[in-house]
Amino acid sequence: MSAPSPQEFRELVRSQTDIVGLIAESIALQPRHGGRQYVGLCCFHDDRNPSLNVYPDRQTFRCWSCQTGGDVFTFVMQHDAVTFPEALEILAKRANIPIPQKLGGRPEGEEINKARILEALQWAEREFHVALVSAPEAEPARRYLLDRGFSLESIKKYQLGFHPDNWNWLEQRANGKFSPKVLLDSKLIDQKNGRTFDNYVNRVLFPIHNERGQAVSFGGRILPGSDHPAKYWNGPESPVFHKSRTLYALDFARDEIRQSKSVVVVEGYTDCLACHMAGMTNVVATLGTALTDQHVTALKRFARQVVLVFDGDEAGQRAASKSVERFLAQDVDLRILTLPEGQDPADYLKAHSVDDLRKLVDSAPEAWNFQYRYLKTEFGIETVDGRQRVLEGMVNLFAEVPSLQGSLRESVLVANVAHRLSLSEASVQAALKDARDSKRNFGRRMNDAVEPRPFTEGAARIIHRRLNKNERVEYDLLESLLAAPQHFHYYEDVLFEHPFRNTVLAHIWEQCVAECMENDVLTFSGLMSRVQDPDLTNLLVWIDEQATAKGIAEKIDKSVEQTPTDGGDCPPYLVRALENLKWRSEEESHQVTAARLSQTEEDAAIEEENALLMQAAAFHQQRDIRNATG
């Protein structure tokens, strides 16, 4: 059998994945309408009443509250924050389908290479761990960890490891198992001047896992007494490890984050594990980078509240302030906790109980409050200039949060700032308006620079039913088409002459045409497997859901029965829908002719004018000649 085409492969993976089973791995689903539909608490927004609908017959899902929807691929993309090829890979593995080498335009071999890299990292994790718990030369490492409060049990649970003081220890062990290329690609070893050497040498190792619990890199800490300048060292970025996306211990913390709806973010893995071992398990750590937008986006899927913990020193305060500015736009309940006396969480837990730490976390000030205090210490509010700067800082912050505009919360915050700075609410409100205006202008400039997701806005407009009359005609046609795709050919003739104009709907139509050309038949699932953009997938599910709710397929069927001649004729229901499109074109062409007619009137006037001017010029010329000769 020849290798499947990318689309055949997608279709295969889709057909081998049951959406109910897949989603039920993440949320509890209840059957409705005798199993024709399932509902559950939506994992994409803070859901109190089950809003997520799963349709087994269509293999789609949609949340009627937050409007997230799609198929099995979209679900994994949104849920695991991965790209389409990654979602495809995850589901293929889940269904035990071997992945063809060449997929979705990726360079040949990359899939295999990634899988090999993960295998190598998993193997290395074991090797490091066994060395830590059993090798004689790991004795200082064991003592260091025991001194820091790690038990053997926790060393096992978090798979801590040790790399002995030997620059080729791992590479020698890999001999016959993994090629130097795989070891280099997984960043387990490195090379310089043509010679290879192990990374992580003579360090205690903290394996860094992806969300699926697979080792993707290691964080290494030197032992006390080592003269190495870098106390902590994280593995470099690799095809499977991206610092800006990965959070340490998310695999261990996820359940508790989901339960408590709150996540605590600390700055290092030792602090993070100190919290876990003390019994506070909704804690993750960044990996030598500040928290990024991608981190927050990932955390928002589980948590309503994000508590950032910073050291109480000056650098920590400044880092905290920067984070507040960046993350308020993300619209999470952001809290900032700075620990007393410049302590980090591990220090704090040495002298206090975990309940004390919990109390601090629970009472962490909201980001606004933190920022106000920070600005106040920075600029002071005794002078007019200082107050001005604090005001600017605060309104710029408020302007970052679109959902705040016009809310009750906004008036409370404005009143609060006005009171604290002894200003009138009106002047704070005016400053906020200025800040929003300048942010909007800036945003417009920035938007030109970043590559937009092409369909986001258009698809959202359709889902929120903000369509004009012309677009409505096109939308209705697509609804009928998806409800009864077997009538595709009737649409083809009409749309050839009267094409769609809404770019999003036109794109969907193009995909229908392409699907039919390739497979001779249009089906909903075929169309779904062709479309990869999550916005379009979501829109397709929406259209399909609406069509089902309106019973359009039944209406078309009934209309077929009523057709006097059997077969071959377009069902009257569709005739009417298609007539609307033709009629639109006719109406428009009439308007064009009318415009042309009025234009001709104008043109005539201009011609007349030109003629008059020419006449005048001729007259003047004649006159001049007469004068000269006369």
Q: How far apart are CA 485 and CA 417, in angstroms?
A: 58
In the complex, minimum distance from the CB of residue 62 to Zn ion, in angstroms, rounded to a whole number: 9
- Tokens describing residue 118: 């993960």
Angle (CA) 139 140 145, round 5°? 100
User: Do the Cβ atoms of 337 and 360 come closer than 8 Å?
Assistant: yes
Cβ proximity to Zn ion, 75 vs 372, nearer residue: 75
In the complex, minimum distance from the CB of residue 52 to Zn ion, in angstroms, rounded to a whole number: 6
In the complex, minimum distance from the CB of residue 46 to Zn ion, in angstroms, rounded to a whole number: 9
Q: How far apart are CA 587 and CA 151, in angstroms?
A: 80
Q: Token match 């039920």: residue?
A: 24
In the complex, minimum distance from the CB of residue 563 to Zn ion, in angstroms, rounded to a whole number: 42
In the complex, minimum distance from the CB of residue 72 to Zn ion, in angstroms, rounded to a whole number: 17
In the complex, minimum distance from the CB of residue 143 to Zn ion, in angstroms, rounded to a whole number: 50
| β-bridge partners, 53 | 39, 62
Cβ proximity to Zn ion, 66 vs 135, nearer residue: 66
Cβ proximity to Zn ion, 42 vs 473, nearer residue: 42
Cβ proximity to Zn ion, 64 vs 232, nearer residue: 64
Cβ proximity to Zn ion, 42 vs 189, nearer residue: 42
- Residue 243 region, left (φ>0) first, then alpha (ψ -120 to 50), else beta? alpha
Length reported for the chain: 630
Angle (CA) 292 293 296, round 5°? 90
- Residue 551 region, left (φ>0) first, then alpha (ψ -120 to 50), else beta? left
Q: How many CB atoms lie within 10 A of CB 444?
A: 9
CA distances to 302, 427, 496 from 262, rounded to whole Å, are 8, 36, 54
What is the CA 434 to chain-centroid distance, rounded? Answer: 30
E strand map for 30-108: 30-32, 37-40, 52-55, 60-63, 69-70
In the complex, minimum distance from the CB of residue 27 to Zn ion, in angstroms, rounded to a whole number: 11
In the complex, minimum distance from the CB of residue 25 to Zn ion, in angstroms, rounded to a whole number: 17
Cβ proximity to Zn ion, 81 vs 223, nearer residue: 81
CA distances to 89, 90, 138 from 84, rounded to whole Å, are 9, 10, 43
In the complex, minimum distance from the CB of residue 41 to Zn ion, in angstroms, rounded to a whole number: 9
Side-chain-side CA neighbours of residue 150 (13 Å):
25
Cβ proximity to Zn ion, 45 vs 245, nearer residue: 45
- Residue 386 region, left (φ>0) first, then alpha (ψ -120 to 50), else beta? alpha
In the complex, minimum distance from the CB of residue 23 to Zn ion, in angstroms, rounded to a whole number: 12
Q: CB under 8 Å to 256, separation ≥6 — which residues?
A: 281, 282
* DSSP line for 144-204: HHHHTT--HHHHHHTT-EEE-S-TTHHHHHHTTTS-HHHHHHTTSEEEETTEEEESSTTEE
Cβ proximity to Zn ion, 459 vs 483, nearer residue: 459
Decide: helix, strand or coil at residue 138: helix
Cβ proximity to Zn ion, 53 vs 317, nearer residue: 53
- Tokens describing residue 532: 């990869």
- Tokens describing residue 132: 């830590």
In the complex, minimum distance from the CB of residue 221 to Zn ion, in angstroms, rounded to a whole number: 41
Q: Which residues contribute to the site for Zn ion (CB under 5 A)? A: 42, 44-45, 63, 65-66
In the complex, minimum distance from the CB of residue 63 to Zn ion, in angstroms, rounded to a whole number: 3
Q: CB under 8 Å to 581, separation ≥6 — which residues?
A: 473, 474, 477, 494, 495, 498
Cβ proximity to Zn ion, 42 vs 431, nearer residue: 42
Cβ proximity to Zn ion, 40 vs 345, nearer residue: 40
Cβ proximity to Zn ion, 67 vs 294, nearer residue: 67
Cβ proximity to Zn ion, 61 vs 150, nearer residue: 61
In the complex, minimum distance from the CB of residue 115 to Zn ion, in angstroms, rounded to a whole number: 33
Burial 123-149 (b: 16+ CB within 10 A, else e): bbbebbbebbeeeeebebbbebbeeee
Cβ proximity to Zn ion, 42 vs 556, nearer residue: 42
In the complex, minimum distance from the CB of residue 65 to Zn ion, in angstroms, rounded to a whole number: 5
Side-chain-side CA neighbours of residue 75 (13 Å):
28
Closest listed residue to residue 275, CA positions, set 248, 302, 295: 248
